[in-house]
Structure 1
Amino acid sequence: MNKVRPSAFEAVADIPDGASLAVGGFGLSGVPETLIRALHDQGAGRLEIISNNCGVDGRGLGVLLAAGRITRVTGSYVGENREFARQYLSGELEVELVPQGTLAERLRAGGAGIPAFYTPAGVGTAVAQGGLPWRYAPDGSVIVASPPKETREFAGRPHVLEHGITTDFALVRAWRGDRHGNLRFRQAAANFNPLAAMAGRVTIAEVEELVEPGELDPNDIHVPGIYVQRVTVLTAEEAADKQIEKRTVRS
């Protein structure tokens, strides 16, 4: 039951080329930076990423993106990464944009064993009707577009069918965790982390503080250890390295 790995590098050592990964975080809050850097050093490529956003230039998933390790992204927001925009518009990167709430529910559904669900989000738009550019050609033409999705009425209101997401691996960051893999997130860092943890077949968590089993009150556990296969503990410096995406102060 001891799921602790000696280092982040060892925790991600078996992630192969072409793996799919659900990655927690929102902007730069709750991003598993240490695991991402370890995966960069490990060298895996052709990765398919499912995450709310793909980091920023030089931080978070932006590190893997800049190294050319990512071939496909499913996310809901990409506006803070110039390299992401360049790769997408030049045809180097395939991108599936999903409404944010739908992405959250697709991850949760996959983790709960629910293959698909209906939602009103996206009805009457290209999300449901198809035609969203997934991949461009270098000349700017669209070579892969989203397909149309099944729609159905419930109580007189149309809904679109969305599929649950499961991935080969998941990378998440938690505030506290124990050796059994039980996790607790702090404040805004909860964001997509619990959902990503559920969706991964092998979930790897970096934790700021490791405690012994039983120290976490069961009522305070956000993700039970059954969803988590590996835990790695951050150093004090790694735990304190929390960037602010946009700093706003009074004039």
Structure 2
Amino acid sequence: MPKFAIFGLGYTGLRILRTLQKENVVLGVSRETKVEGSILLDLSDTVSLENFLKEYEGSKFDASLITFPAQKLENREQVFDTIFSISKTVWMFGSTSIYQRITSDITEKTPLDPEHDRYKTELQFLEKGGKILRLSGIYGPGRNPANWARKGSVKKTKRQLNLIHADDISEVVRLLLSYPGNDLPSELILSDGQWHTWLEIFRFLEDHGKIQVVPEEKMDREDSFIDSSLIRKFLPGLQTKDFWGELEKLEELI
């Protein structure tokens, strides 16, 4: 039976842990969250990290996944060395915000922004042989895009919104970690591949009386469509949730 490790049990990490536990041996590693199948470990504590390495270096994980923003760790090099030492394959979550908005479509070939806070850390990770799954905006239960509109953190513009449901992320991780071949690219993008703008979302919410009607505004920044066709070539059966149907559920309209 495959053996995996999930580092970081936040919004997505915890869901991934529970999905993988259905068919695999999985160890969850978190600084704060303690659930069945997990341990508490502060990765910034060098001594604890050394002890963790000693405990698990004799039995490697088939794959490990880093779900938290590793660039915030001062000892990230030690963290990477530790995880690579105990894992045959290592994946890390990234963000599609790292791509430069210079074309209407963003793919894995789009240049990265060297000023992005993840840039140096991702290069360091890739040089060690890791693989990165860059995610679009994450939504789902507890992360309702409509609330971003209510709070005024987004504007009513024609700007494209690129999203991926938390449950879809869990399923994609399951498929990637159990992928039978060795031809997966080192960098992949994941989005739901659906076209929807903030203007459409605002109007949907307004029509259902969920928010007050506000005037349309001009776009305040460049937008691009996140093209996730490459990952679908390797996972041809991948199905992602319908955004409008999920929004109706989150707004309790169905």
TM, length-normalised to structure 1: 0.29
Look at both structures and tell me which one has the larger radius of gyration over its CA atoms: 2
Which structure shows the bigger proportion of residues in helix conformation?
Answer: 2
